[in-house]
Chains A and B, each alone.
Chain A
Amino acid sequence: MDTVIVTGASRGLGRHCAMSLHERGYRVIGISRSVKGDTPYEIRSADVADSASLSKALGDLKRDKSVYALINAAGIASMNLVITTPAETVRKIINTNLVGTILACQLVAPAMIRRGSGRIINFSTLGVPLAIKGEAIYIASKAGVEGFSRAFAREMSPHGVTVNTVAPGPIDTALIEKVPRDKIDAVVSRQIIERQAEPSDVWNIVSLLLSAESSMISGETIHVGGA
Protein backbone atom coordinates (compact mmCIF):
# COMPACT_ATOMS: atom_id res chain seq x y z
CA MET A 1 0.00 0.00 0.00
CA ASP A 2 1.45 3.37 -1.02
CA THR A 3 1.94 5.97 1.68
CA VAL A 4 1.15 9.65 1.18
CA ILE A 5 2.27 12.26 3.69
CA VAL A 6 0.04 15.30 3.96
CA THR A 7 1.04 18.37 5.95
CA GLY A 8 -1.74 20.58 7.29
CA ALA A 9 -3.91 17.47 7.36
CA SER A 10 -6.26 18.47 10.15
CA ARG A 11 -8.17 21.15 8.26
CA GLY A 12 -8.84 22.88 4.97
CA LEU A 13 -7.46 21.55 1.72
CA GLY A 14 -4.98 19.33 3.53
CA ARG A 15 -7.79 17.54 5.34
CA HIS A 16 -9.82 17.25 2.14
CA CYS A 17 -6.87 15.71 0.30
CA ALA A 18 -6.07 13.39 3.21
CA MET A 19 -9.68 12.18 3.41
CA SER A 20 -9.85 11.65 -0.36
CA LEU A 21 -6.59 9.70 -0.30
CA HIS A 22 -7.77 7.56 2.60
CA GLU A 23 -11.02 6.79 0.78
CA ARG A 24 -9.02 5.65 -2.23
CA GLY A 25 -6.99 3.18 -0.19
CA TYR A 26 -3.75 5.04 0.40
CA ARG A 27 -2.02 4.87 3.77
CA VAL A 28 -2.17 8.51 4.85
CA ILE A 29 0.15 10.07 7.40
CA GLY A 30 -1.09 13.52 8.27
CA ILE A 31 1.05 16.18 9.89
CA SER A 32 -0.62 18.80 12.03
CA ARG A 33 0.41 21.18 14.79
CA SER A 34 -2.28 19.84 17.05
CA VAL A 35 -3.80 16.39 17.06
CA LYS A 36 -7.47 16.72 17.86
CA GLY A 37 -10.70 15.14 16.74
CA ASP A 38 -11.20 11.88 14.96
CA THR A 39 -9.62 11.19 11.62
CA PRO A 40 -9.68 7.85 9.84
CA TYR A 41 -5.99 8.28 9.02
CA GLU A 42 -2.89 8.60 11.17
CA ILE A 43 -2.04 12.11 12.39
CA ARG A 44 1.36 13.01 13.78
CA SER A 45 1.95 16.23 15.66
CA ALA A 46 4.61 18.58 14.31
CA ASP A 47 5.21 22.19 13.41
CA VAL A 48 6.40 22.23 9.80
CA ALA A 49 8.42 25.38 10.45
CA ASP A 50 10.45 23.60 13.13
CA SER A 51 13.00 21.22 11.60
CA ALA A 52 13.52 19.26 14.84
CA SER A 53 9.79 18.78 15.34
CA LEU A 54 9.25 17.72 11.74
CA SER A 55 12.28 15.44 11.77
CA LYS A 56 10.93 13.69 14.88
CA ALA A 57 7.56 13.18 13.22
CA LEU A 58 8.87 11.91 9.89
CA GLY A 59 12.28 10.43 10.75
CA ASP A 60 11.11 6.82 10.65
CA LEU A 61 9.92 7.21 7.04
CA LYS A 62 13.32 8.06 5.59
CA ARG A 63 13.91 4.47 4.49
CA ASP A 64 10.29 3.53 3.96
CA LYS A 65 9.92 2.61 0.29
CA SER A 66 6.14 2.68 0.58
CA VAL A 67 6.35 6.50 0.66
CA TYR A 68 4.96 7.53 -2.71
CA ALA A 69 3.95 11.15 -2.28
CA LEU A 70 4.19 14.27 -0.18
CA ILE A 71 1.48 16.92 -0.24
CA ASN A 72 2.56 20.15 1.42
CA ALA A 73 -0.77 21.72 2.33
CA ALA A 74 0.20 23.35 5.63
CA GLY A 75 -0.14 27.08 5.35
CA ILE A 76 -1.12 30.24 7.15
CA ALA A 77 -2.23 33.64 5.94
CA SER A 78 -2.56 37.08 7.41
CA MET A 79 -4.26 39.55 5.11
CA ASN A 80 -2.76 42.93 5.90
CA LEU A 81 -0.87 45.77 4.33
CA VAL A 82 2.88 45.26 4.37
CA ILE A 83 3.61 48.37 6.41
CA THR A 84 1.15 47.37 9.13
CA THR A 85 2.27 43.74 9.45
CA PRO A 86 4.43 43.00 12.50
CA ALA A 87 7.86 41.55 11.74
CA GLU A 88 7.05 38.43 13.77
CA THR A 89 3.99 37.78 11.59
CA VAL A 90 6.14 38.14 8.47
CA ARG A 91 8.58 35.55 9.79
CA LYS A 92 5.79 33.20 10.83
CA ILE A 93 4.18 33.26 7.38
CA ILE A 94 7.46 32.73 5.54
CA ASN A 95 8.58 30.02 7.97
CA THR A 96 5.37 28.02 7.77
CA ASN A 97 4.56 28.40 4.09
CA LEU A 98 8.00 28.43 2.47
CA VAL A 99 10.53 27.04 4.97
CA GLY A 100 8.04 24.39 6.12
CA THR A 101 7.57 23.21 2.54
CA ILE A 102 11.32 23.02 1.98
CA LEU A 103 11.96 21.15 5.24
CA ALA A 104 9.25 18.57 4.54
CA CYS A 105 10.70 18.00 1.06
CA GLN A 106 14.19 17.54 2.53
CA LEU A 107 12.95 14.94 4.97
CA VAL A 108 10.70 12.94 2.67
CA ALA A 109 12.66 13.06 -0.62
CA PRO A 110 15.27 10.46 0.47
CA ALA A 111 12.55 7.81 0.79
CA MET A 112 11.36 8.57 -2.75
CA ILE A 113 14.94 8.54 -4.10
CA ARG A 114 15.45 5.11 -2.53
CA ARG A 115 12.18 3.98 -4.09
CA GLY A 116 13.06 5.48 -7.48
CA SER A 117 9.71 7.20 -7.95
CA GLY A 118 7.38 9.62 -6.26
CA ARG A 119 5.23 12.71 -6.34
CA ILE A 120 5.64 15.97 -4.47
CA ILE A 121 2.78 18.44 -4.61
CA ASN A 122 3.17 21.87 -3.07
CA PHE A 123 0.58 24.57 -2.63
CA SER A 124 0.70 28.14 -3.87
CA THR A 125 -2.06 30.63 -4.61
CA LEU A 126 -3.70 32.44 -7.50
CA GLY A 127 -2.64 35.52 -5.57
CA VAL A 128 0.84 35.18 -7.08
CA PRO A 129 -0.17 35.94 -10.70
CA LEU A 130 -3.08 38.20 -9.64
CA ALA A 131 -0.93 40.30 -7.24
CA ILE A 132 -3.77 40.81 -4.78
CA LYS A 133 -3.54 43.90 -2.58
CA GLY A 134 -3.19 43.10 1.11
CA GLU A 135 -1.62 39.69 0.50
CA ALA A 136 1.94 40.70 -0.35
CA ILE A 137 3.64 38.69 2.39
CA TYR A 138 1.49 35.61 1.87
CA ILE A 139 2.10 35.94 -1.88
CA ALA A 140 5.86 36.33 -1.30
CA SER A 141 5.90 33.07 0.66
CA LYS A 142 3.96 31.27 -2.06
CA ALA A 143 6.02 32.74 -4.90
CA GLY A 144 8.96 31.26 -3.03
CA VAL A 145 7.23 27.88 -3.00
CA GLU A 146 6.73 28.09 -6.77
CA GLY A 147 10.38 28.96 -7.42
CA PHE A 148 11.60 26.30 -5.02
CA SER A 149 9.35 23.65 -6.57
CA ARG A 150 10.49 24.43 -10.08
CA ALA A 151 14.18 24.16 -9.22
CA PHE A 152 13.68 21.16 -6.91
CA ALA A 153 11.82 19.41 -9.72
CA ARG A 154 15.01 19.49 -11.77
CA GLU A 155 16.96 18.06 -8.83
CA MET A 156 14.48 15.21 -8.32
CA SER A 157 13.89 14.37 -11.98
CA PRO A 158 16.75 11.84 -12.29
CA HIS A 159 15.18 9.91 -9.42
CA GLY A 160 11.76 9.55 -11.05
CA VAL A 161 10.13 12.05 -8.72
CA THR A 162 7.93 14.86 -10.03
CA VAL A 163 7.48 18.14 -8.16
CA ASN A 164 4.54 20.38 -8.97
CA THR A 165 2.60 23.22 -7.45
CA VAL A 166 -1.16 23.64 -7.25
CA ALA A 167 -2.32 27.25 -6.95
CA PRO A 168 -5.97 27.67 -6.01
CA GLY A 169 -7.92 30.88 -5.69
CA PRO A 170 -10.14 31.48 -2.66
CA ILE A 171 -11.63 28.22 -1.36
CA ASP A 172 -14.11 28.22 1.51
CA THR A 173 -11.79 26.99 4.25
CA ALA A 174 -10.66 28.38 7.59
CA LEU A 175 -7.78 30.13 5.81
CA ILE A 176 -10.10 32.79 4.37
CA GLU A 177 -12.98 32.69 6.83
CA LYS A 178 -12.33 36.29 7.90
CA VAL A 179 -12.07 37.65 4.36
CA PRO A 180 -15.18 39.68 3.39
CA ARG A 181 -17.41 38.19 0.68
CA ASP A 182 -16.97 41.14 -1.68
CA LYS A 183 -13.19 40.70 -1.63
CA ILE A 184 -13.51 36.99 -2.43
CA ASP A 185 -15.92 37.79 -5.29
CA ALA A 186 -13.46 40.38 -6.62
CA VAL A 187 -10.68 37.79 -6.79
CA VAL A 188 -12.93 35.18 -8.39
CA SER A 189 -13.94 37.72 -11.05
CA ARG A 190 -10.27 37.95 -12.08
CA GLN A 191 -9.94 34.19 -12.65
CA ILE A 192 -10.24 32.86 -16.19
CA ILE A 193 -13.04 30.62 -14.97
CA GLU A 194 -15.15 33.04 -12.93
CA ARG A 195 -16.41 30.49 -10.42
CA GLN A 196 -15.20 29.98 -6.89
CA ALA A 197 -13.47 26.63 -6.79
CA GLU A 198 -14.50 23.88 -4.37
CA PRO A 199 -12.07 21.66 -2.46
CA SER A 200 -13.05 18.87 -4.87
CA ASP A 201 -11.77 20.97 -7.80
CA VAL A 202 -8.39 21.17 -6.09
CA TRP A 203 -8.45 17.45 -5.31
CA ASN A 204 -9.12 16.65 -8.97
CA ILE A 205 -5.84 18.35 -9.90
CA VAL A 206 -3.95 16.79 -6.99
CA SER A 207 -5.33 13.43 -8.04
CA LEU A 208 -4.10 13.96 -11.61
CA LEU A 209 -0.64 14.88 -10.37
CA LEU A 210 -0.53 11.76 -8.19
CA SER A 211 -1.47 9.49 -11.07
CA ALA A 212 0.95 7.48 -13.18
CA GLU A 213 -0.34 9.42 -16.20
CA SER A 214 1.30 12.62 -14.88
CA SER A 215 4.83 11.24 -15.10
CA MET A 216 5.81 13.86 -17.71
CA ILE A 217 4.50 16.81 -15.69
CA SER A 218 7.09 18.36 -13.39
CA GLY A 219 8.18 21.82 -12.33
CA GLU A 220 4.75 23.21 -13.20
CA THR A 221 2.35 25.45 -11.35
CA ILE A 222 -1.28 24.64 -12.10
CA HIS A 223 -3.66 27.53 -11.44
CA VAL A 224 -7.06 26.29 -10.30
CA GLY A 225 -9.58 28.39 -12.23
CA GLY A 226 -6.88 29.98 -14.38
CA ALA A 227 -5.01 33.25 -14.05
Chain B
Amino acid sequence: MPAGKEEVEKFICDEVAMLVGDANSQITPATPLIGANRAVDSADLVVLLLAVEDYARDNLGFQWDWTSDSAMSEARSVLRNIGSLADHLVSQRAA
Protein backbone atom coordinates (compact mmCIF):
# COMPACT_ATOMS: atom_id res chain seq x y z
CA MET B 1 0.00 0.00 0.00
CA PRO B 2 1.47 3.40 -0.98
CA ALA B 3 2.59 5.73 1.79
CA GLY B 4 0.01 8.25 3.03
CA LYS B 5 0.60 11.88 3.94
CA GLU B 6 1.43 11.15 7.58
CA GLU B 7 4.00 8.62 6.55
CA VAL B 8 5.54 11.06 4.07
CA GLU B 9 5.66 13.75 6.74
CA LYS B 10 7.29 11.35 9.18
CA PHE B 11 9.94 10.47 6.61
CA ILE B 12 10.73 14.14 5.96
CA CYS B 13 10.73 14.99 9.69
CA ASP B 14 13.17 12.13 10.36
CA GLU B 15 15.44 13.23 7.51
CA VAL B 16 15.47 16.84 8.71
CA ALA B 17 16.10 15.72 12.29
CA MET B 18 19.04 13.65 11.10
CA LEU B 19 20.44 16.53 9.01
CA VAL B 20 20.27 19.03 11.85
CA GLY B 21 21.35 16.50 14.49
CA ASP B 22 18.13 16.92 16.47
CA ALA B 23 17.92 13.66 18.41
CA ASN B 24 15.02 14.89 20.56
CA SER B 25 13.16 15.77 17.39
CA GLN B 26 11.64 19.18 17.69
CA ILE B 27 10.89 18.77 14.02
CA THR B 28 7.20 18.80 13.09
CA PRO B 29 5.20 19.21 9.87
CA ALA B 30 5.08 22.95 10.66
CA THR B 31 8.89 23.22 10.60
CA PRO B 32 9.87 25.71 7.86
CA LEU B 33 12.27 24.58 5.13
CA ILE B 34 12.91 28.04 3.69
CA GLY B 35 12.81 31.57 5.01
CA ALA B 36 14.21 33.23 8.08
CA ASN B 37 13.31 30.45 10.53
CA ARG B 38 14.24 27.54 8.31
CA ALA B 39 15.44 24.37 9.99
CA VAL B 40 18.05 23.48 7.38
CA ASP B 41 20.66 25.49 5.53
CA SER B 42 20.82 25.48 1.73
CA ALA B 43 23.37 22.64 1.58
CA ASP B 44 21.23 20.42 3.81
CA LEU B 45 18.14 21.36 1.83
CA VAL B 46 19.77 19.95 -1.31
CA VAL B 47 20.59 16.71 0.54
CA LEU B 48 17.00 16.57 1.83
CA LEU B 49 15.55 17.05 -1.66
CA LEU B 50 17.74 14.25 -3.03
CA ALA B 51 16.52 11.97 -0.23
CA VAL B 52 12.91 12.95 -0.95
CA GLU B 53 13.48 12.23 -4.64
CA ASP B 54 14.63 8.70 -3.76
CA TYR B 55 11.71 8.27 -1.36
CA ALA B 56 9.18 9.34 -4.01
CA ARG B 57 10.62 6.81 -6.45
CA ASP B 58 10.83 3.93 -3.96
CA ASN B 59 7.71 4.51 -1.85
CA LEU B 60 5.32 6.70 -3.81
CA GLY B 61 5.94 5.18 -7.21
CA PHE B 62 6.81 8.27 -9.22
CA GLN B 63 9.84 10.17 -10.36
CA TRP B 64 9.85 13.55 -8.65
CA ASP B 65 11.89 15.99 -10.69
CA TRP B 66 12.39 18.93 -8.37
CA THR B 67 14.54 20.69 -10.96
CA SER B 68 11.69 20.84 -13.47
CA ASP B 69 10.33 24.27 -14.36
CA SER B 70 6.94 23.54 -12.83
CA ALA B 71 8.40 22.30 -9.54
CA MET B 72 10.73 25.28 -9.31
CA SER B 73 7.99 27.81 -10.04
CA GLU B 74 6.10 26.47 -7.03
CA ALA B 75 9.20 25.90 -4.94
CA ARG B 76 8.60 28.71 -2.49
CA SER B 77 5.16 27.43 -1.56
CA VAL B 78 6.04 23.73 -1.74
CA LEU B 79 9.05 24.17 0.51
CA ARG B 80 7.29 26.49 2.95
CA ASN B 81 7.38 23.73 5.54
CA ILE B 82 7.51 19.96 5.88
CA GLY B 83 3.73 19.64 5.69
CA SER B 84 3.49 21.59 2.42
CA LEU B 85 6.23 19.44 0.89
CA ALA B 86 4.38 16.29 1.97
CA ASP B 87 1.13 17.68 0.50
CA HIS B 88 2.91 18.34 -2.77
CA LEU B 89 4.37 14.84 -2.94
CA VAL B 90 1.05 13.17 -2.17
CA SER B 91 -0.70 15.29 -4.82
CA GLN B 92 2.00 14.49 -7.38
CA ARG B 93 1.53 10.79 -6.72
CA ALA B 94 -2.17 11.13 -7.36
CA ALA B 95 -1.63 13.10 -10.58
Partners in one complex: yes
Q: Chain A interface (Cβ within 8 Å of chain B)?
A: 63, 106, 110, 113-114, 155, 158-159
Assembly CA distance A106 to B46 (angstroms):
12
Assembly CA distance A113 to B46 (angstroms):
8
| Cβ-defined contact, A63 with B47, below 8 A | no
Q: B43 contacts which of A106, A114, A158 (Cβ < 8 Å)?
A: A158
| Cβ-defined contact, B46 with A114, below 8 A | no
Q: Given contacts A113-B50, A114-B50, A158-B43, could you give 10 more A-B pairs where the C-beta distance is less than 8 Å?
A: A63-B54, A106-B67, A110-B50, A113-B46, A113-B47, A155-B42, A155-B43, A159-B43, A159-B46, A159-B47
Assembly CA distance A113 to B54 (angstroms):
13
Majority-rule SS of A interface residues? helix
User: Contacts of B43 on A, CB cut-off 8 Å?
Assistant: 155, 158-159
Q: Chain B interface (Cβ within 8 Å of chain A)?
A: 42-43, 46-47, 50, 54, 67
> What would be 10 A-B contacts, judged by CB atoms less than 8 Å apart?
A63-B54, A106-B67, A113-B46, A113-B47, A113-B50, A114-B50, A158-B43, A159-B43, A159-B46, A159-B47
User: Contacts of B50 on A, CB cut-off 8 Å?
Assistant: 110, 113-114
A35 to chain B, nearest CB (A): 26
The residue in chain A whose Cβ has the minimal distance to the Cβ of B65 is A55
A74 to chain B, nearest CB (A): 20
User: Contacts of A113 on B, CB cut-off 8 Å?
Assistant: 46-47, 50
B46 to chain A, nearest CB (A): 6
A71 to chain B, nearest CB (A): 22
7 A-B pairs with the lowest CB-CB distances in the bound complex, closest first: A158-B43, A110-B50, A114-B50, A113-B50, A113-B46, A106-B67, A113-B47
A40 to chain B, nearest CB (A): 32
A118 to chain B, nearest CB (A): 13
